[in-house]
Structure 1
Amino acid sequence: MLSKVNFRIKTIYNILRPSEKKVADYILNYCGKLEDLSMTLLAKEVAVSQPTVMRFVKAIGYDSFKQFKLELAKNYDKENSIDILYGFSINADDKIMDLPGKIVATATSMLENALKSLSLVNYQKTVALINQSQHISIYAVENSMGVAHDLMTKLIYLGKSVTCHSDYYLQSIDASNLTRDSLAIGISYSGNSKNTVEVLKIAKDAGAQTIAIVNFENTMLTRYGDIVLSTSNDQFLYGDAIFSRTAQIALVDIIYMGVIISDYDNYTKKLDHYSRLIKHRGYQKEEL
C-alpha cells in the first residue's frame, strides 16, 4: 500500500519542477534511517538548495520539513518490514507458491508507476474532449482490444455515441468518416501496433481530435495523438507485457470517473436510467 507521503508525491509528480523531481525520486527510493534524514542532508544528497527542498515539501501539502518527516515515519517501519517482492521479475525458477505474491506486487508497482506517469493536464484535456465530442471511436488490437471495449461500454452508459470495431478494415473506414466534431482514441501498450497507428493517423488526417493511450511516450502511436496518456510500466513477457492491461484498465476507470465528476448530476441520472432499463435482466435475491 502506498504511504500517504508517497501517494501525494506520485499524484503531483508530473507537475513538479525538475529540481523538485530530484527530491521526489530520492524520497521514493530512500532506504536509510529516518533519524538521519535532515533538510541539509537531503539537499546535499540530491544536489539542490534547501529552499528547493522546502518548495517540494510545500508542494506535497506539508507546512514544514518536520511535519513531512513525521508523516513519512508513520508507514516507514511497516513498509520496510514486509517483503512484498517489489522489483522481482517472473522467471522460470520461480516456485508456484511464490507467484501470487509476485504477481500482486508487480501489478501494484505498475499502478503506482501509472499514477506517477499520468499527466494531470492531459487527463483533464481528455475528459474535456470526451464531453465535447459528438462521436467517439476507439481503436486497438489484441490485449488492448478488451480495454477498448471496456472504455466503449462505460462511455455508452454515460450516453455517448461510441464505436469500437475489432476488424482493421472497418476501423479504417470508420476513421476516414470522422470529422472535427469527432474524437479518436488509440490504445496500445507498446505504442507500436501497426494497425492502431495507421488507423489513428487516418482519423487525424480526417480532422478528428486524437488521444493516444500507451505505456511509453515516444512511440509511433504518440506521433498521431493530440493528447498522450502514458502508464509507464516495464514488465515484459508474452504479448509485449503480461500485465499490460492492469494499468490500462485502471486508466480507463480514471477517465470514466473523471467524466462523471465533470457533470455529476447529468451523468448519474443517465446511469440510474440505464440501470433501471436492465434491472430485470439480473436475478433478484428472493429468486436465488
Structure 2
Amino acid sequence: MAQSGFTRIRSMREQLSGSDEKVATFILANPEEIRSLTIQGLANAVGLSTATISRFVKRVGFSSFREFSLSLAVVTQSDDTFFGEIDEEDDTSEIVKKVFSGATNALESTVNMIKTADWTTATKWLVEARRVGLFGIGGSSIVALNGYHKLLRTPLDVEQHPDYDVQLMQAVRMRTTDVAIVVSHSGRNHDTLTIARQLHTNGVKIIAITAYPQSELAKLADLVLASAAEEVNIRSESMSSLIAQITIMDSLFTLVGVQLGDKTQQVVDHMRTAIEGTRE
C-alpha cells in the first residue's frame, strides 16, 4: 500500500528546513483543511509560491500535487501512529503489531528518501576503493558490524572494529583512495565526529548513514544515505531507524556483490567451503 502524504512528511520531518518545514508544519497541523485545498490554496495559506509547493511535494516523494492530494484522502492507521505509539491499554498483539508497523514504515520511508543516483555513486566508490572502513559507536556499531560481516563476502578489502580507539587509529591510516562508511543515528556522537573529522582531514570519501541529514556528521560527509526516524513513546526512535540502517547496509552489499559478479561468487564459495569444514 502506498504511503499517505501525512506518513511521508512525518518520516522526513527532521530533514526539512526553511520553506519545506513551514509547509510540513501547516499540513500536519491542519489535516482536515489540507485535504480540500488546491495547490494555490495551500500556497496562499502558508504564504509561499505554487512553485515552492510543487518542489515540496516532489521532495517528499510525489510526482505531482494531484498525486500528493489524493494520498491525503486515505487515512491509514500509521497516519496516527507512524512508528507505533504504545498505549497503556494495548494488549500483546497490538504492541507487537505496532512495533512491526514502525519497522515497515521506517523501511518504506527510507527507500523513498534515497535517490537512485546516490546508491549508484556509493556503489562506484566502494567498488573502486583501495580499502573500505566501517565506523560506528554504541548502537551504530551494530550496523557497522553487519556491513563488515556482509562485505567480507565480496572482494573488497574491508575493516571494522568495535573499540573507539582502534577506530580512530584506523581513520588515521586511511587515504584519499579509501572509502569510509560512518554510521550514527543522531549524527552528533562526539567520538563518531572525531573519527569523521580525521577521515575528512585525510581526504577519505565519507558515506554517512544517519537519520539526521542536517547533522554535523552529514556536513562532513561526501554522501549521505538517510534513514527515516520519528520520536515515539516508550521505545527509542533509533529502534526503527536501526532496522532501516541495517537494510541500507544490506543494500550496499547487494549492489556491490552484483556489480562484481563472478568475483563475489568466488569469495562466497571459498567462504562457504571453509565454514562447512568446521561443521560435523
Which shows bigger deviation, 225-234 or 136-145?
225-234
Q: Equivalents in 2 of 1:239, 1:274: separation in Å? A: 38
Q: Equivalents in 1 of 2:224, 2:100: separation in Å? A: 27
- 1:241 lines up with 2:234 in the alignment: no
Q: Equivalents in 1 of 2:129, 2:225: separation in Å? A: 18
Q: Equivalents in 2 of 1:176, 1:221: separation in Å? A: 17
Q: Equivalents in 2 of 1:104, 1:241: separation in Å? A: 14
User: Residue 84 of structure 1 contacts residue 102 of structure 1 at CA under 8 Å; is this kept in 2?
Assistant: no
Q: Partner of 1:134: helix, strand, or coil?
A: coil
The equivalent residue for 1:136 is 132
Q: Partner of 2:182: helix, strand, or coil?
A: strand
The equivalent residue for 2:13 is none
Give the partner amino acid of 2:238.
A
Q: What's the offset of the Cα at 1:145? A: 1.1
The equivalent residue for 2:15 is none
Number of residue equivalences: 272
Q: For the pair shown, which has the larger CA radius of gyration, 1 or 2?
A: 1
Q: Equivalents in 2 of 1:51, 1:212: separation in Å? A: 31
Q: What's the offset of the Cα at 1:41? A: 6.2
User: Residue 83 of structure 2 contacts residue 230 of structure 2 at CA under 8 Å; is this kept in 1?
Assistant: no
The 1:76/1:256 distance shift into structure 2, 3 A limit, reads farther
* Bigger RCO of structures 1 and 2 (CA < 8 A, at least 6 apart): 2
User: Residue 85 of structure 1 contacts residue 101 of structure 1 at CA under 8 Å; is this kept in 2?
Assistant: no
Give the partner amino acid of 1:241.
S
User: Residue 186 of structure 2 contacts residue 211 of structure 2 at CA under 8 Å; is this kept in 1?
Assistant: yes
Match of 1:195 among 185, 191, 196: 191
The equivalent residue for 2:250 is 253
The equivalent residue for 1:276 is 269
The equivalent residue for 2:166 is 170
Listed one character per residue, the Cα deviations across residues 169-215 of structure 1 (whole Å, up to 9, x for unaligned) are 22121111111111122111111222221122222222322222111
Structure-1-length-normalised TM-score: 0.69
The 1:49/1:246 distance shift into structure 2, 3 A limit, reads same
The equivalent residue for 1:157 is 153
Instruction: Name structure 1 gaps, 5 residues minimum.
Output: 10-17, 284-288
User: Residue 88 of structure 1 contacts residue 102 of structure 1 at CA under 8 Å; is this kept in 2?
Assistant: yes
The equivalent residue for 2:216 is 220
Q: What's the offset of the Cα at 1:274? A: 3.2
Q: Partner of 1:157: helix, strand, or coil?
A: coil
Q: Equivalents in 2 of 1:8, 1:90: separation in Å? A: 20
Q: Equivalents in 1 of 2:270, 2:111: separation in Å? A: 35
Aligned pairs for 1:4-43 (under 5 A) are none
Q: Partner of 2:256: helix, strand, or coil?
A: helix
- 1:107 lines up with 2:103 in the alignment: yes
Q: Equivalents in 2 of 1:82, 1:107: separation in Å? A: 11
Q: Equivalents in 1 of 2:111, 2:27: separation in Å? A: 16
Structure-2-length-normalised TM-score: 0.71
User: Residue 186 of structure 1 contacts residue 197 of structure 1 at CA under 8 Å; is this kept in 2?
Assistant: no
Q: Partner of 2:238: helix, strand, or coil?
A: coil
Instruction: Name structure 2 gaps, 5 residues minimum.
Output: 10-17
User: Residue 157 of structure 1 contacts residue 270 of structure 1 at CA under 8 Å; is this kept in 2?
Assistant: no
The equivalent residue for 2:114 is 118
User: Residue 152 of structure 2 contacts residue 158 of structure 2 at CA under 8 Å; is this kept in 1?
Assistant: yes
Q: What's the offset of the Cα at 1:250? A: 1.9
Q: Equivalents in 2 of 1:58, 1:244: separation in Å? A: 23
Instruction: State percent identity of aligned pairs.
Output: 23
The 1:97/1:200 distance shift into structure 2, 3 A limit, reads same
The equivalent residue for 1:2 is 2
Listed one character per residue, the Cα deviations across residues 221-265 of structure 1 (whole Å, up to 9, x for unaligned) are 2243222222241235666733331111121133233334xxx4x
C-alpha RMSD over aligned residues: 4.6
Q: Partner of 1:218: helix, strand, or coil?
A: coil
Q: Partner of 2:239: helix, strand, or coil?
A: coil
Listed one character per residue, the Cα deviations across residues 104-131 of structure 1 (whole Å, up to 9, x for unaligned) are 2222222233234435444333222112
Match of 2:82 among 86, 93, 107: 86
The 1:45/1:84 distance shift into structure 2, 3 A limit, reads closer
Match of 1:96 among 92, 99, 117: 92
